[in-house]
Amino acid sequence: MAIVECVPNFSEGRNLAVINQITQAIENVEGVALLDVDPGAATNRTVVTFVGDPESAVEAAFAAIKTASEVIDMRNHSGAHARMGATDVCPFIPVSGMTMEDCAELARKLGERVAKELGIPIYLYEAAATREERRNLANVRAGEYEGLEQKLKDPEWAPDFGEAKFNPGAGATVIGARKFLIAYNVNLNTRDRKRAHDIALDIREAGRAKRDAQGEIVRHPDGKAIKVPGRLKETKAVGWYIDEYDQAQVSINLVDYEVTAPHQVFDVIEEEAQKRGLRVTGSELVGLIPLNALLMAGRHYLKKQGKSMGIPERMIVETAVQSLGLRDIATFDLDEKIIEYRLNRDNKGLVDLTVTGFANELSTDSPAPGGGSVAALCGSLSASLSSMVGNLTMGRKGQESVWEEMSELGAKAQELKDWYLSAVDRDTAAFNAVMAANRIRAKSDDEKAAKADAVKAANRLATTVPMEVLERTMELIRLAQKMAEFGNPNSLSDAGVAGLTARSCAEGAYYNVLINLGGLDDDAAWGKKQRTKAEANLAKCREKAEALAKFVERKLSS
C-alpha cells in the first residue's frame, strides 16, 4: 500500500474556529486520516498531521491550503514563529510504498495546482527543491511575510510555480518532501536530568564540546566550540526530567530512521546507561511510527534471541514493542500507534472474516468472492504451511546446520502468505469492477465508446490479478520443496500438503485467467499473449508440483 504523510503548518494557533475549518476540509476528503492537530498560541501557528494514499493526500492538502487562504489574513498575523504564508509550509513524507522522489513529485503537482487555481506563489524545498539554495527552508523563508513583497521582485527569488506577484492575504507557501521524523524517548531509572543529558551528548550526531586536559572548551579561531561527534548519525537528543513520570529521559528526534532506527538508539543508550550505573526501564513513542521501523526492531531482537523470522507480522511487531519496553509508562495500541494499522483499522475485507464467515460468504449466490479468491487463499495456506515447517525445524537438535536457512525461508513464506492474502480481496475487487463497468448506461456513441474502454480495462485487471497469482506460485512450490528436503522430518506431510495447495492455487488461477480472457474478444492480441504466458507458467508449476508430490510420497513410504 502506498501511504504518504503530510504535515502542513498554518499561520493560526489561537482561533479554534478557524483551525477547525481547515482541519474539517482535510477530513472531508475520503482516503485520508487526520492524525494530529497541534496549535500554539505563542507561535500563532498550528501543525497538522494527516496520512493517506498519494492522490487523496494531495487533494486534502489542496483543500486545506484553499481554506486557509480564505480564513487567514496574513496582514493581521503575528507570532513567535517564522512564517511567510497562511499555509506556511507543506511537506510530504514517505511512509510506505513511496520513495522520496514520489513525494517530491506530489509536491510539484500540488504546487502547480495551488499557484494556478489560488494565485499563491509557491516555493519548493528539501527533496523537491529546484536548486540547491532552496533546499533549506530557512533560506526560502528568509525575510518572512513582511519581506515577501520585495523578495518577489528579485529574479533570483521568483517562485517555482505562479507569478512573482504579492498575495497580501495568503502570502506564499513552501511545499516539499522530506524524511519521516520519529520522536522517541528512552526512560532511565533516575530523576537526574544531568545524567540523562550526559548520555544524550554522547549519542547525538552533533556530539558535545571538546575539552582540553584542564576541562576547558577547545575553540576554533572564530571562537566557536570544536565538537566531538556522538555515536549515532541523523540523531538529535537532549536529556530532561518529566514530572509526570518522576524520572529522567533521553529525548530523541530520529531524522532518518533508516540510518539510525529506534532499536539502535535503545541499545546504545542501554550501553551508555550501564557505564553510568543506570538502567533503561523502557521507552516512549511520541506520535505515530511507520510499520517498517518496528519490523526492523522486531527482526533485530528475534535474531539476537536466535528465533525464527518466519512468524506473522504482528508477532514481529509485538516482539519490538516488548523489547523496547514501549508499554513502560503508557499503553501502546498497535492499531493506534502504527500508521499503516491505523489507516487500515476500518477497512475490513474478506481476509478479516472468520473461516466460517468466509465459507458462508463464498457459499451464497453472490458471484464474488469466487474461484479466483479461493485460488489465492490456497496460495496463502501453502505459504503458511511452509512457514510452519520452518518454525518446527528451528531449534531442533541435529538440524543446527539449517536453522539460519529455515529462518530466512520462513520469513519469505510469511511475505508470500501476506501477498496471497491481499490477492484474495484484490481478485474480488477486480471482478466487482468488471460488473460495475458492464452496468454503465450508454446511449450516445461517445458514451458507448467510453463504456467499451471501461469494460476492456476492467477485464484486463480481472485477468491480471489471477495471472500474478499464477506467476508467483513457483515460489510457493520451491519453498515447499526446500521444507520437504531439509525441514523437520516429522512435518514432511505438511510440506507435501504445502505443495498440493500450491498446485491448486496455480490450477485455480489459470482457470480464472482463461474465463476473464473470454471478455476480451476485441483485445485479441493482448489476450493471446496472456494465454501463452499462463500456459507456460502452469506447465512449470505442474511439473515441479508433481515432482514434489512423488518425492514426499516416496519418503513417507520408506
**Tens of pLDDT, residues 481-496:** 999 999 999 999 999 9
**Measured between alpha carbons, how far is 335 from 312 in angstroms, rounded to an integer?**
16
Catalytic one among 77, 81, 192, 198? 81
pLDDT band at 346 (very low <50, low <70, confident <90, very high): low
Biggest alpha carbon–alpha carbon distance for the chain: 91
Task: Provide CATH 3.30.990.10 ranges for the chain.
Answer: 3-177
The yes-or-no answer on residue 77 being catalytic is no
**Measured between alpha carbons, how far is 163 from 168 in angstroms, rounded to an integer?**
14
pLDDT digits (tens, 9 = 90+) for 523-546: 778 888 999 999 999 999 999 999
**Measured between alpha carbons, how far is 254 from 5 in angstroms, rounded to an integer?**
16
For 331, the grid coordinates are 499503553
Is 3-177 a domain of CATH 3.40.1000.10? no
User: Which residues neighbour 482 within 8 Å (Cβ) at sequence distance 6 or greater?
Assistant: 386, 405, 409
In degrees rounded to 5, what are phi and psi of residue 324? -85, -5
Task: Provide CATH 1.20.120.680 ranges for the chain.
Answer: 350-557
pLDDT digits (tens, 9 = 90+) for 327-341: 998 899 999 889 888
pLDDT digits (tens, 9 = 90+) for 234-285: 999 999 998 888 999 999 989 899 999 999 999 999 999 999 999 999 999 8
Correct CATH for 350-557 of 1.10.260.40, 1.20.120.680, 1.20.1630.10, 1.10.287.610: 1.20.120.680
Task: Provide CATH 3.30.70.670 ranges for the chain.
Answer: 182-344
Catalytic one among 53, 202, 267, 427? 427
The answer to whether residues 385 and 503 touch, using CB atoms and an 8 Å cutoff, is no
Domain spanning 182-344 has what CATH number? 3.30.70.670
- State mean pLDDT over 448-454: 86
pLDDT digits (tens, 9 = 90+) for 396-445: 999 999 999 999 999 999 999 999 999 999 998 888 888 888 889 888 88
The yes-or-no answer on residue 197 being catalytic is no
pLDDT digits (tens, 9 = 90+) for 145-192: 999 999 999 999 999 999 999 999 999 999 999 998 888 999 999 999
